[in-house]
Chains A and B, each alone.
Chain A
Amino acid sequence: MEMSRRNFIKSTLAASAAVAAGISTTSNAVAQSQEVVIERWVKGVCRLCGTGCSVYVGVKGDRLVAMKGNVESMTNTRGYLCVKGMNIWKVAHHPDRLTKPLIRDGKGVLRPASWDQALTLIEKKFKQFHKKYGYDSVAYYGSGQCTTEESYTFNKLWKGGFGSNMVDGNPRLCMASAVAGYMSSLGSDEPAGAYADIEKSETIFLVGSNLSEAHPILFRRVARHKKDNPNVKIIVCEPRKTLTSAVADLWMPSLPGTDLAIFNGMAREIIKNNWHDKEYVKTLGRVTIGDGSKELAWADYVKHLEKYTPQYVEKKTGCPAADVKAAAKMFAKSKATLSMWCMGLNQRANGVWANNLIHNLHIITGNYGKPGADAFSLTGQPNACGGVRETGSLAHLLPGAKPVANKKWRTFVEGYWGVAKHSINPSKAINPKPGMHAVKLFSSLGGEKDKTKPVKAVIMSTTNPAQTLPNVNKFIGGMQDAFTVVIDIFPTRTAQCASVVLPAAFIYEKGGVFGCSERRSFLTDKAVNAPGEAKADIWIAAQIAKRMGLTKLIGWANETSIDRMNELAWNDYIGCTANTEKTLKGATYKRLKKSTVGVQWPCPDEKNPGTYKRYVRGMDPIFDNPKRYGYTIPADAKEFFYARPHGKANIFLRDDPDNSEQTSPAYPFIMTTGRVLEQWHTGSMTMRIPETAAAHPHSFVEINEKDANRLKIKNGDIVKVESVRGYNILPVKIVNNTLEGVIFVPMHDQKADRMVNFICSDIVDPKSAEPDYKVSAVKITKVSGPKKIDGRYLVSRQEMNKKTFS
């Protein structure tokens, strides 16, 4: 009996894979004729990276029992999945799940409480601080892992209800430079194209992205494209030679923080060889500098690039001059070039400029607006684009990703939300002044006794700033002293600092929309119930709204069904942004419920299929009625960017300043940080999956073999990696895949003396306020020979009661 049940399972899985492979199956008949091993398949999105793989979760009773890829998917084509995504079930059913609200008592111990007790305390504190310190004394810090409905609800509550823009989120730490790059170069945030450009490209330029480990399914698409089309060229530009380089025709090494010189050097080489697209530049390019207001001549740009000879670039970056020339040729001579980048470009002191320079390369070679050509920023989280960028849940934005300082748009949103009628702030208006970005917010957070800290309370959802902020030591005291509320599914370092911990529902326990890197919004349906008393964030936001007297503002606050709350919030959101280029007006909740592929904005009406390519007549529906969206597009314009009023893409004169932390005799190494294949972010989920944890149980430091020889360090030795801010004690991995003088430390470990953000620089990009995680000056000293490491460290429930981090 047992064996036959297993056979049914296997036949079911095989039948599904056969459909994915496009081959006729004999398994289907067996699967269909047998015992029900999976009661229903519920559609959804993978909970982990920003690729947005589309899945079905298999449910039996109230348990998740299976997961399969969606064969119709446009993201994970043919429904293929990576091992990270397939392991996620262990998180949902993990015994460490938080299942009851907790309130910290006078002795510092988190004690179980009822929801009413927890919410009453939050209400009391928020009201008290609003009255005593003003509305900006209470902040919301969200996440690219909340659903769009949740982020929109909290954003509306704060900006419309409290009249406070003290709303920021963890995408500030990973995507803000890409946002500012798109806005300044093209006039509108997010990519012009889609993943479908991968298979249409002739050259792929991967820069600041270890795609193979951070976005495995996209890497698979790239590798497969190369395998099927050996003439396709792949260039990888990053400090470490990672697995991604295995498929590359050219690996361009560069010292962390210096690649701006490479991009300018490539542009110089392209123009010098007459490989640029003169017609495209004339019609759609505009040379500029600074904030983009002043137009310059093409000759100014050419002159600006003079300095970036291949020899200069080599000296500055460590990238061989010949590689700069070769890369420029591959980039410019292909019929369609696609660039993809991630945190390596964004998490930088000059991240916005680095983004601008990638756009420059695309503008001068005419690599937008045609199949296979695009400048594509990848996201690390599943809903950083949809949930935070598009809903404007950052301190300086409103829904539609328009600045809060934009009076016209602010007035519209005030009217749409009924702020004058509903706000509890006597101003009865949205504050025109942006709130604080993440690093500033947490620098300003502190207890009532600390007069220097204006922010007294923060509610944090699905994020872990006590581990992820750079130079984190600076912020922990403030988090402990202030009134801090954490919404999460597991104990974390941030929960360890919290006054109140609220247990959250997992995505498959509540449902909601995630919008991935390619502008695609996809609805996950609720599959099972949340354990214990865990609740959806949207329910928590609704309870706070009710208690703060904002039931009418949050029209779904009195609903009891989470699905209905989600529907009302989503429809409110798409109504609010209907007249922006990010319109999802046609992606009604009903449509998303039915859709198995999701919808890419702009999508102005229900008949519109969604948009694969923006800025192109015949593809981008904004061209059909530009006035509605505030644009004037000439009738004969085939391509048009949204930078107003000219509709051209900005070619920026950007230099290569050394504004990251510099090495010195005392701190001679550059440390860069990043992800490894098996883990994700702070490991609160992936470190709980035993196999994943076993594959990468603890952090380490990669050191170039020549540096190791000089320091007389051997593989496995324990070293102290130290900056002026803090240190880690780490085992050594000697490698030959980095440049000399560069070391790498992964970012996932929760153990106090292996939390890399104690070391990281907290310099931020002056425009985007995104931290410079990729460049910190450090020194290395040997502590001992090889030693057993206390690996797979997780913050436990008990540790949440300790003031210090172990």
Chain B
Amino acid sequence: MIFTSAVLEFHKDSYKELLSFIESQSQVEVYDKDIDAGKLVLVISTEDDAELEVIQKTFHANKLVIDFTYHAIHFGESVDKLIDGEIKIDFEDINNKKKNKLQ
């Protein structure tokens, strides 16, 4: 798993609508918020970066979102698996990967 934190800025009057949009996405959790400032801290848990990018695109396309930006990423589990030979960085992973929910 890869965990990524991101800062999302939104139009203040649309918080409720935005929240229900976020809640519809199983990979995304709200960790901190400042509703007056129109900011949320999200943590996104994905199998890989491709899935993460799909989520990013979804936020960028959402009219309620002013800005969505990454801040930090934890990829330790993947590194451990890579070094221990449990996963390979090869293209078969990509070819065989099932489409995630947002696609």
Q: Give chain A's interface residues, CB within 8 Å of chain B.
A: 6, 9-14, 16-18, 20-27, 37-38, 58, 60, 63-69, 78-83, 86-87, 89-90, 93-95, 220, 224, 227, 688-695, 792
Contact = CB atoms under 8 A, between A and B. Distances in A.
B49 A37 contact: no
Nearest to B2: A86
B74 A691 contact: no
Given A65-B76, A80-B69, A690-B94, 7 more contacts: A9-B74, A66-B75, A78-B7, A86-B73, A224-B67, A689-B49, A693-B91
B89 A95 contact: yes
A690 B93 contact: yes
B79 interface: yes
Nearest to B1: A6
Interface string B38-67: 010111010011101100100000000011
Contacts of A87: 49
Contact of B41 (A12, A17, A86, A224): A17
Contacts of B37: 22-23
Nearest to A14: B31
Contact of A82 (B33, B43, B66, B70): B70
B73 to A, nearest CB: 5
A69 B69 CA distance: 11
B79 to A, nearest CB: 5
B18 interface: no
B86 interface: no
Nearest to B73: A86
28 contacts: A6-B45, A9-B74, A10-B45, A13-B72, A14-B5, A14-B41, A17-B6, A18-B41, A20-B7, A21-B7, A21-B34, A21-B41, A24-B32, A26-B31, A58-B76, A63-B76, A64-B79, A66-B74, A66-B76, A67-B75, A80-B7, A81-B73, A82-B70, A227-B66, A689-B49, A690-B50, A691-B48, A693-B91
B89 A690 contact: yes
A20 B71 contact: yes
B82 interface: yes
Contact of A27 (B31, B34, B53, B74): B31
A13 B37 CA distance: 20
A13 B5 contact: yes
Interface in B5-30: 5-7, 29
A94 B49 CA distance: 16
Contacts of B66: 227
A220 to B, nearest CB: 7
B70 A83 contact: yes
Contacts of A86: 4, 49, 70, 73
B83 interface: yes
Given A14-B41, A27-B32, A87-B49, A63 B93 contact: no
A6 B56 CA distance: 21
Nearest to A25: B32
Nearest to B70: A81
Contact of A79 (B31, B56, B71): B71
Contact of B3 (A6, A80, A224, A688): A6
Contact of B71 (A11, A58, A68, A690): A68
Given A14-B43, A21-B7, A60-B76, A80 B89 contact: no
Given A9-B74, A13-B4, A23 B89 contact: no
Given A6-B1, A63-B80, A18 B67 contact: no
Contacts of B5: 10, 13-14, 16-17, 68
Of B4, B42, B72, B74, most A-chain CB atoms within 10 Å: B72
Which 4 pairs across A and B sit closest by C-beta, in order of nearness?
A65-B76, A68-B72, A14-B31, A13-B5
A21 B83 CA distance: 34
B79 A10 contact: no
A220 B71 CA distance: 13
B31 A11 contact: yes
A310 B45 CA distance: 54
Nearest to B31: A14
A94 B6 CA distance: 26
A90 B89 contact: yes
B31 A10 contact: yes
A22 B40 CA distance: 11
Contacts of B67: 224, 227
A192 B67 CA distance: 30
A23 B94 contact: no
A69 B75 CA distance: 15
A17 B76 contact: no
Contacts of B88: 95
A776 B101 CA distance: 44
B3 A69 contact: no
Contacts of A689: 49, 89
B79 A65 contact: yes
A2 B5 CA distance: 19
Contacts of A68: 5, 71-73
Contacts of A25: 31-32, 41
A17 B72 CA distance: 7
A14 B40 CA distance: 10
B95 to A, nearest CB: 9
Contacts of A69: 70-72
A67 B72 contact: yes
